[in-house]
């Protein structure tokens, strides 16, 4: 009387959905952990001033020995003090 029968097909589908849901949870947790770790480390922004004006800004410092905009080298600039490089660090 009142027995409920569940088909085998339904049980197979529910197991598959459960496994997919568990895999999605793991993937989401890994993604959030990596995202949090990246945000908590902070970032550094490199600013390059030429002739008193900000001319370049980026995440990677330029390694060239001379200014990309006026061509002045750091040795020439020691006398005139026109080129400046600054680093601004942010902590998470």
pLDDT tens profile 31-59: 999 999 888 887 788 888 887 788 888 88
The winner for highest mean pLDDT among 4-8, 49-53, 74-78 is: 49-53
Q: How far apart are the first and last CA of the chain?
A: 64
- Whether 72 has a pLDDT exceeding 80, the answer reads no
Q: Map residue 14 onto helix, strand or coil.
A: helix
54 and 81 both lie in a single domain? yes
Domain tally, the chain: 2
Residue 45 CA to residue 58 CA, distance in Å, equals 6
Q: What pLDDT does residue 32 have?
A: 97
User: Could you list the residue range(s) of the whole structural domain that residue 29 is in?
Assistant: 1-41
Helices (H) and strands (E) in the chain, counts: 2, 3
**Does residue 1 have a pLDDT over 60?**
no
Percent of the chain clearing pLDDT 90 (strictly above): 20
The answer to whether residues 34 and 47 belong to one domain is no
């Amino acid at each position: 009387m009142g027995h409920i029968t569940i088909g085998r097909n339904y049980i197979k589908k529910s197991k598959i959905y459960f496994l997919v849901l568990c895999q999605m949870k793991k993937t989401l947790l890994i993604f959030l952990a990596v995202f949090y770790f990246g945000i908590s480390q902070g970032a550094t922004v490199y600013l390059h001033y030429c002739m008193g004006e900000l001319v370049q800004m980026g995440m990677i410092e330029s390694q060239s020995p001379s200014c990309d905009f006026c061509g002045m080298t750091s040795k020439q600039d020691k006398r005139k003090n026109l080129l400046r490089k600054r680093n601004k660090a942010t902590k998470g």
